[in-house]
Amino acid sequence: MLSNARFLLMRFLCLALLCSLAACAVKQAPVDPAMAGNVWQGMLAKSNVEKAPYRDNMSLRFGTEGNTRRVLAIIWGNGEDDLRLDVSAGVGTTVAMLHQKGQEFLLYAPMEQKAYFHEGESSPLLKLGLPLPFDLFRLEALLHNRWTSVFGKAWADASGHKKGIAYTLQEGIGGTLVLDAQGMPALWENANWSIAFSFQEDGTLKRLDLANKKGEKGILLLRSQEHPARFDAAQMQLELPQDTVLLPLESLRKSR
């Protein structure tokens, strides 16, 4: 009886291992290069969106399991390396005003009457504790389906994936981008992050689901998009009240 039990146990373990290996093989199955190329070209074509003035309303819920908070945000600009974003905790309650121009990032917290600055290629949003592994310009690009501005235009290899075709990226933020049969992004991931995409029927972005290895998650819902006339210089500026205390952004992260 004991030997039979051991035999059955070993058989079960072997079957489980074979199933596991089969699942991995399916996920990484090779795909026809021509098909992979056609799907990728579909993404490039859809990503060829002309830059123009915009004003987008969105909501963001972020945090860890059992400890999340929700904010509303309006982001606007002229489609250039200069944008503004206001964050509110509710109607009429602005908790943060942000301005990014090139690699210069400025945040003003009206309730604290303090401003925080950051300069460099690293993501200032990560320093704020937001689960977004890129800066505001790449966020804006995702909001308007300009995917090549985030993921680049070249891939190294492609393999089968349950959601479509997975491409190892050579440019942009790197990692792996999964495209569906129509060339629409379904999933992006690297060693630390993942972003799942949801779109409206007309192809505009609906939702981003973000997660990292630390257990932090974020849900970004795009509530509305507008294409107004070009914003003037005054509308793009972030004027700080006189005698505002100006601090490095790292000090805000450390104080929380």
How confident is the model over 99-124, as pLDDT tens digits? 999 989 999 999 889 999 988 876 77
Take residue 16 and report the two structure tokens written for it: 């489980």
pLDDT at 28: 61
Residue 22 confidence (pLDDT) above 50: no
Residue 70's CB is within 10 A of a number of other CB atoms, namely 13
Return d(Cα 176, Cα 46) in angstroms, integer.
19
Return d(Cα 76, Cα 85) in angstroms, integer.
6
pLDDT at 26: 40
Q: What is the pairing mode between strands 114-119 and 245-248?
A: parallel
Which is nearest to 114 in space by CA: 244, 248, 254?
A: 244
Tens digits of residue pLDDT in 37-68: 999 999 999 999 999 999 999 999 988 888 88
Residue type, 36: A
Tens digits of residue pLDDT in 127-138: 676 767 888 999
Return d(Cα 205, Cα 44) in angstroms, integer.
16
Contact 254, 127 (CB under 8 A): no
pLDDT at 67: 84
List, in sequence order, every residue forming a beta bridge with 179; answer none if it has no partner: 165, 185
Contact 222, 70 (CB under 8 A): no
Contact 84, 76 (CB under 8 A): yes
pLDDT at 158: 97
Lowest mean pLDDT among 2-11, 169-178, 219-228: 2-11
Contact 139, 123 (CB under 8 A): no
User: Which residue has tokens 């051991």?
Assistant: 6
Contact 131, 211 (CB under 8 A): yes
Helix (H) or strand (E) holding 236: helix 233-236
Report residue 25's pLDDT band, with 50, 70 and 90 as the boundaries.
Answer: very low
pLDDT at 8: 45
Rounded average pLDDT over 209-234:
94
